[in-house]
Amino acid sequence: MDALPCGQVCGVRAASEAWSACGWVRSLPRAGFSRNGNDWRTSAAAGLVSTLCVRRASRARCARCARHAAKTRVVLLGGAGRIGTAAAVHLLRRSPNPLEVVLAGRSEAKGQRAQEEVLSEAGMSLKLGHQVSFRQVDWRDEGALAPLLRGADCVLHTAGPFDEPVVLKTAIRERVPVYVDVADPIGRYLDKAETMDAAAMEANCMALCGAGAFPGFSNVLAVECASRILTSGARELRDVDFSYFTSGLGGSGAVNLLITNLGFGEPVPVYRDGRYAPQMTAGGEMRQVDFFLDEADPAFREVGRRDVWSWPFPEAYTVPRSIHIQGDSSTGMGTAPGIWNHILVALVSLLPRDLWRNRSFSEALAWFSLPMVWATDQFVKETHAMRVEVSGSEWRCVAVQAHRSFRRCVAQSAAEFALHLLQRREGDWRPGVYMPELLAEDEAARAELLKRFSSTEGTISCGFKLTSESQERLTKD
Ligand SMILES: NC(=O)c1ccc[n+]([C@@H]2O[C@H](COP(=O)([O-])OP(=O)(O)OC[C@H]3O[C@@H](n4cnc5c(N)ncnc54)[C@H](OP(=O)(O)O)[C@@H]3O)[C@@H](O)[C@H]2O)c1
């Protein structure tokens, strides 16, 4: 039972005490309860108080009392996965309020192990009164998913691959207030999600898609770069580039190998001269990228210069569309050890795109390469880095973020997006379906998100550098 700010306890058994202690309960018409005498009144009040406390929490009106009356219920789909478990741990460590985290996945055995892992890693934070449990569910079975989501305050969906927005649709139908997914989809997932905007508004749901590290955190970095350029007096934004580096699987699950392979069969969703012009260049256009701002940046030592090749990250399309660039967008990723980059680029140039698009082929190749990736992962650190560059008029803004663990960075970013939205239930609540760049259009929201992301455990570096062409000319001279 949780203590209320008014010093009492709220729950069915203690409801009569809470009734006399909570101001808003006192304002209820007493006549209705006292009509048939005290005994009846007390038991009716007990039921009513506990129900109303929970209901009020979901409407975020009696925020201080109600928040303490019920735990915030978070359903974590993919909760037994690599990113899911790390997201659960981060939620438990960073939430200011007690949470009831329900890990959900298809395998009971994996679920039990995940529950133990989360409980042991969450450590001291469990003192806040959090609860962690596991529920077996396949999200493709809407009939089984709906009852699990019913009454939840938040759904965090990490159970990819993301092809159809079934979970979003069910969350909206069940009127779950906060929905966040870490979709890094190829295909039309995000377009389909956006068509649910009106339904989300009607259901009073704030839904955020593509909200991991990339896409997700990186989209927010791009909007901040664009804002810094425009504030410096630039008339227009020209180009935007997203580059990423992850050593091997970076602690994430094998499903990410499958997703990478499938992506080689898809067009890279880029802009050319301000227009959407997808290119069949995935796995090509190898280039070198500096994942640091300058030599004093810790990322210079930890990550340095790396090879990247093009891959169809959706932010190369959704961010330019949102910030209205007049030039080109590009997106690429690289891995370590460097030999993997050359093997992948060679394979992509040899095999037809149709074959990569074929799920059976891409899955077979993922399973074939998994032991080798696992073996090389034993010798490389989990390091991950992102570099986002936006240019406009004569300005250039570069953002670099580096983290000790790819898996944790994705998980922490998603969890922070969820905590941000949960916090907004008590303030700036704007229902609808969002991509991270839309949420970040608002300056205050963007500042709050960046503060959250840059303060996560394991962050090596997170910063911006704004330069003008004349400054760069001066430095060269
Ligand atoms: N935006 C980003 O920055 C970013 C970066 C990397 C990855 N991702 C996304 O993150 C996802 C998860 O990665 P991960 O490393 O955590 O992979 P993982 O370890 O394989 O975890 C995925 C989990 O999802 C569960 N799952 C899969 N299909 C399910 C279904 N139909 N119903 C219920 N549960 C299901 C699996 O559980 P069972 O097999 O036990 O059912 C598994 O535990 C990837 O698919 C990828 O799309 C996003």
- State residue 248's pLDDT score: 78
Q: How would DSSP label each residue in 321-344?
A: HHHTBSS-EEEEEEEESTHHHHHH
In this structure, what CATH number is given to the domain that contains residue 337? 3.30.360.10
Compute the average pLDDT of residues 395-415: 97
Where is the domain boundary, 34, 69, 104?
Answer: 69
Q: If you average pLDDT over every residue of the chain, what do you get?
A: 87
- Residue 475: what pLDDT? 59
161-186 average pLDDT score: 96
Is 86 part of any domain? yes
- Across 200-316, the runs of DSSP E, i.e. the strands, are 206-208, 240-247, 271-272, 275-276, 287-290, 305-310
Judge if 31 and 164 occupy the same domain. Answer: no
For ligand 1, say whether the CB of 83 is within 6 Å of any of its atoms.
Answer: yes
The per-residue pLDDT for 39 is: 37
Query: How far does the centroid of ligand 1 lie from the alpha carbon of residue 159, in Å?
Result: 4
Number of domains in the chain: 3
Q: Does one domain contain both 57 and 91?
A: no
Residue 159 lies in a domain: yes
Question: Does the pLDDT value for residue 29 go beyond 80?
Answer: no
Residue 474: predicted pLDDT = 58
Residue nearest to atom 27 of ligand 1 (CA): 159
Question: The domain containing residue 25 runs over which residues?
Answer: 2-69
pLDDT at 69: 54
Burial 25-54 (b: 16+ CB within 10 A, else e): beeeeeeebeeeeeeebeeebbebbbebbb
Which residue among 256, 262, 377 is best mutated to probe the pocket of ligand 1, counting the most ligand atoms within 8 A of its Cβ?
256
pLDDT single digits (tens) 209-230: 999 999 999 999 999 999 999 9
How far is residue 296's CA from residue 298's CA, in Å, rounded to a whole number? 6
Give per-residue pLDDT as tens, 50-63: 444 444 444 433 44
CA of 165 to the centre of ligand 1 (A): 14
Are 269 and 367 found together in one domain?
yes
**Which of 168, 161, 128, 127 is CA-nearest to residue 145?**
168
Say which range, 17-26, 112-121, 311-320, 339-348, has the weakest mean pLDDT. 17-26
Residue 21 has pLDDT above 50, yes or no: no
Same domain membership, residue 373 and residue 441: no
Asked if pLDDT for residue 132 goes beyond 80, the answer is yes
Domain holding 154: CATH number? 3.40.50.720
Of 21-30, 316-325, 397-406, 417-426, which range is least confident?
21-30
Strands 287-290 and 9-10: unpaired
Ligand 1 pocket, 108 CB below 6 A?
Answer: no
User: Looking at 69, 88, 115, which one is the last position of a domain?
Assistant: 69
Task: Using the mean position of ligand 1's atoms as its centre, give its distance from the Cα of residue 80 in Å.
Answer: 9
CA-nearest residue, atom 20 of ligand 1: 253
- pLDDT tens digits, one per residue of 354-390: 999 999 999 999 999 999 888 888 888 889 999 999 9
What confidence score (pLDDT) does residue 270 get? 97
Of 69, 85, 114, the position where a domain reaches its end is: 69
Q: Is 334 in the pocket of ligand 1 (CB under 6 A)?
A: no
Can you give the pLDDT at residue 32?
Answer: 32
Q: Give the model's pLDDT for residue 471.
A: 74
pLDDT tops 80 at residue 130: yes
Burial class (CB in 10 A: 0-12, 13-18, 19+), 371: exposed
Q: How far, CA to CA in Å, does 430 sit from each of 183, 200, 223, 425, 465?
A: 21, 10, 19, 9, 32
Average pLDDT over residues 85-99: 96
Same domain, 317 and 363: yes
User: Which parts of 150-248 fold into alpha helices (H)?
Assistant: 166-173, 189-194, 197-202, 217-231
Pick the atom of ligand 1 nearest to 252's CA.
Answer: 15
- Distance, CA 83 to ligand 1 centroid (Å)? 7
**Are the C-beta atoms of 332 and 285 separated by less than 8 Å?**
yes
pLDDT score recorded for residue 376? 85
84 in a structural domain: yes
Nearest CA to ligand 1 atom 21: 81
Is the shortest distance between the CB of 80 and ligand 1 below 6 Å?
yes
Is 477 within a domain? no
Q: Are residues 400 and 426 in the same domain?
A: no
Token representation of residue 415: 């969890």
| Average pLDDT rounded to a whole number, residues 263-281 | 97
Q: How much is the average pLDDT of 105-113?
A: 97
Q: Looking at the predicted structure, is the pLDDT value of residue 42 above 70?
A: no
Contact (CB, 8 A) for 219 and 355: no
**Half-sphere exposure (CA, 13 Å, Cβ side) for 466?**
17
Model confidence at 313: pLDDT above 50: yes
Classify residue 292 by burial, with Cβ atoms within 10 Å: 0-12, 13-18, 19+. Answer: buried
Query: Is residue 476 a part of any domain in this protein?
Result: no
**Shared-domain flag, residues 150 and 21:** no
Asked whether residue 358 falls in the same domain as residue 463, the answer is: yes
The two structure tokens encoding residue 17: 């005490």
Out of 113, 401, 410, mutate this one to test ligand 1's pocket (max ligand atoms within 8 Å of CB): namely 410
| 320-335 per-position pLDDT tens digit | 999 999 999 999 999 9
Q: Is the shortest distance between the CB of 211 and ligand 1 below 6 Å?
A: no
Q: Would you say residue 61 lies in a domain? A: yes
Asked if residue 81 has its Cβ within 6 Å of ligand 1, the reply is yes
Same domain flag for 237 and 386: yes
State residue 11's pLDDT score.
37
Q: Do 414 and 400 belong to one domain?
A: no
Residue minimizing CA distance to atom 1 of ligand 1: 212
Residues 271 and 171 in one domain: no
Cβ burial of 156 (10 Å; 0-12, 13-18, 19+) is: buried
- Identify whether residues 123 and 140 lie together within a single domain: yes
**Backbone dihedral region for residue 418 (phi beyond 0: left; psi -120 to 50: alpha; all else: beta):** alpha
Q: Specify the pLDDT at position 53.
A: 42
Average of pLDDT values for 125-151?
94
Residues 6+ apart with CB under 8 A from 91: 74, 76, 99, 101, 156, 415, 418, 419
